[in-house]
Amino acid sequence: MNIEVNFVAVLLAGIVSMVAGFVYYSPAVLGKPWMKYMKYSADELKKEQKQMGKFYGISFVLSLVTAYVLYHVMVMSMNYFGNPGVTTGLMTAFWSWLGFVMPVQFTGVIFSKDHSSDAFKALAINTGYQLVSLLLMGIVIGYLM
């Protein structure tokens, strides 16, 4: 099956994911508890900021990869089920998160050295962001398909 990709939709989905991350992890939303549960101090994060540009760049490229793959899965889902774009986007994003993202992140925590309640609270915040990100990507892509 040859899928014609709307690269504008993929680009916008990647941008929306990054913006969502900046908001989600901001101190006004979940940044402070995330820092606490991840055992970061404000000073440690300030030191890391010098490298953050590189990390944000890599994160953006990875967001584009996610959006590109989500686009393909959504097209196949629409062809099979015939649902409208945004509905398909939301369903595909949710089931992708539930089946692929959340279990991988959860497994990473259960096999780590840290089994504290903070580790599982950090997991909830991190995997919650992944869900929000995928849902927003699904909406953008579904709307622009």
Residue 26 lies in a domain: yes
Residue 106 lies in a domain: yes
The predicted structure's pLDDT at residue 38: 94
Residue 78 lies in a domain: yes
pLDDT category at 131 given cuts 50, 70, 90 is very high
Residue 2 lies in a domain: no
Q: Is the pLDDT of residue 83 over 90?
A: no
Task: Count up the domains in the chain and report the number.
Answer: 1
Cβ pair 141, 15 in contact under 8 A: no
**Tens of pLDDT, residues 27-73:** 999 999 999 999 998 888 888 888 888 999 999 999 999 999 999 99
Provide the residue range defining the domain that includes 121.
7-144
pTM greater than the 0.85 cutoff: yes
Residue 1 lies in a domain: no
Higher-scoring residue by pLDDT: 75, 83: 75
Instruction: Indicate the DSSP class of residue 100.
Output: I
Q: Is the pLDDT of residue 102 over 90?
A: yes
> Sign of the C-alpha dihedral, residues 142, 24, 7, 70?
negative
